[in-house]
Amino acid sequence: MSRIIVAATPVSGHHAPLLQIARHLHGLGHEVVFLGGSRFAAQVEAAGPAFRALPAEADYDDRDLSARFPGRDEIPAGPGQVMWDVMHVFGDPIPAQLRALKEVLAGFPATVVLHDNLFLGGVALALGEEPGRRPAVLSVGISPLGVDSRDTAPHLLGLLPPTDDEQRARYAEMAAQMAERSKPLAAHLRGCFTAAGAVIKEGSLGWLRIQAADAFLQLTVAGFEYPRSDQPANIRFVGAIPIEPGAAQEPPAWWPELRRAREEGRRIVVVTQGTLANTTLNRLVVPTLRALADREDVFVVAATGRPDAAELIAGELPAVPANARVAGFVPFAELLPLTDLLVTNGGYGGTQAALAHGVPLVVGGDTEDKPEVAARVEWSGTGLNLRTGDPSVEALREAVDTVLSTPGYRERAAELAKEYAAHDALATIDGLVRETDPR
């Protein structure tokens, strides 16, 4: 068996899939050390791997990013805020992340380092030495491929791939403009890598982050990612990390009502704003509850990811509609097989989970890389892209009705579900680990 370091950015959406990978590898008998955010220590230790906390310079609580990163909230959602995040939330910790990796390696000579794609200290490790003089580095893509390509629109704009030469020319002009605007980002990241002792070649940092890894494991299927004729050979689509039954809390008290609604032929609609962009539930959750309040043919589950969900909803609605139930955390492994439609702000992991269960989507999100997720839903034919993070009640009502009444969306989601089922992401990752260390 191998010695493995699993390193995760201390953000829930990054931490969760890496922890599932670490738990799986540990369960197979590999020695695993998990390097991550201190607030996740008990979670990791309960899963089995040994835990090491990131140093203070790289450790923060993603539930309150504004406290650790003053000024972030002043930047409007969209490409500008994403660039700021890459500079400061993900870029500034690079030297501390690499130092932590080397400290763990000093006492635990791992043969493999496995990190999420925005744990850039892993990229610095890969760039610091030749492959034979360092552990194998496997990067896990927990977000849409964020790279420039002649076959796609510029990243972060949420635009579909070009369909003709005129559109390609327009996209190329837009890409040049974005490259000019992002020069401060590139200079900042290069400075962070240099401070960590990594030598950065000229060229696209987006591609560099991917090509630095010995293998880049994208947590999706080819049917949910744009084809690229210039795609690096080290990218592998490995499918989605499955949701573990029982990973969340026990089903809520109203669960029998949900099952009864399903048996009665009512459509189950789940709405969520994920685990990060959920501080203001009136962007998507509350409008969805309002949009469907008068529909007797649906049963709505608002999965907020917040322990104070009831209080937040009560502050926005005089009463929860009779056909809806509000929850902080629900067992999605049990919920998705019962679900007819997911209304979401476009979290990458949640979208993958829905499609792996053949659930079509309505997507309305504008933070982080969510417009890119929404665009892929549109492109793949698995749902509707609302193209806003603040959809109106009327737009939501119409979108939900369209997806529920149009068989093509569910049929396309079912096709993708078969593609997901043909992959076993955890087994593939274990196989790659064993290839790098055949002992």
How many domains does the structure of the chain reveal?
2
- pLDDT per residue over 317-358, tens digit each? 888 999 999 988 788 889 999 999 999 999 999 999 999 999
Domain assignment present for residue 244? The answer is no
Are 300 and 155 in a shared domain?
no
Are 150 and 283 in a shared domain?
no
CB 351 within 8 A of CB 363: yes
Q: Which residues contact 357 (CB under 8 A, 6 or more apart)?
A: 336, 337, 339, 417
Are 350 and 271 in a shared domain?
yes
CB 223 within 8 A of CB 351: no
Domain assignment present for residue 395? The answer is yes
CB 298 within 8 A of CB 268: yes
Are 199 and 305 in a shared domain?
no
Return the amino acid letter for 405: S
Residue 277's pLDDT is 59
237 three-state secondary structure? strand
Domain assignment present for residue 324? The answer is yes
- List the alpha helices (DSSP H) in 264-335: 285-291, 309-314, 332-335
Closest CA to 134 of 116, 113, 115, 118: 113
Query: In this predicted model, which residue has the larger pLDDT, 415 or 253?
Result: 415
Are 268 and 225 in a shared domain?
no
Are 116 and 145 in a shared domain?
yes
Domain assignment present for residue 17? The answer is yes
Domain assignment present for residue 62? The answer is yes
What average pLDDT does range 101-114 have in this prediction? Answer: 97
Domain assignment present for residue 249? The answer is no
In the predicted structure, residue 438 carries a pLDDT above the cut 70? no
Domain assignment present for residue 248? The answer is no
Are 276 and 194 in a shared domain?
no
Residues across the chain: 439
* Rounded distance between C-alpha atoms, residue 362 and residue 343, angstroms: 5
Longest dimension (CA), the chain: 64
Residue 75's pLDDT is 86
In the predicted structure, residue 247 carries a pLDDT above the cut 70? no
Residue found by looking up tokens 């409008």 in the block: 287
Are 226 and 284 in a shared domain?
no
Domain assignment present for residue 246? The answer is no
109 three-state secondary structure? coil
Are 348 and 201 in a shared domain?
no
Residue 262's pLDDT is 95
Q: Which helix H or strand E contains 181, and what residues bound it?
A: helix 165-181
What average pLDDT does range 67-93 have in this prediction? Answer: 88
Are 25 and 113 in a shared domain?
yes
- Domain boundaries, position 394: 255-421
Are 202 and 291 in a shared domain?
no
Q: Which residues contact 308 (CB under 8 A, 6 or more apart)?
A: 328
φ and ψ at 120, to 5 degrees? -75, -10
* Rounded distance between C-alpha atoms, residue 365 and residue 350, angstroms: 13
* Rounded distance between C-alpha atoms, residue 351 and residue 345, angstroms: 9
- List the alpha helices (DSSP H) in 10-68: 12-27, 41-47, 65-68
Q: Which domain CATH number covers 20?
A: 3.40.50.2000
In the predicted structure, residue 278 carries a pLDDT above the cut 70? no
Bridge partner list, 237: 218
Are 19 and 160 in a shared domain?
yes
Residue 281's pLDDT is 80
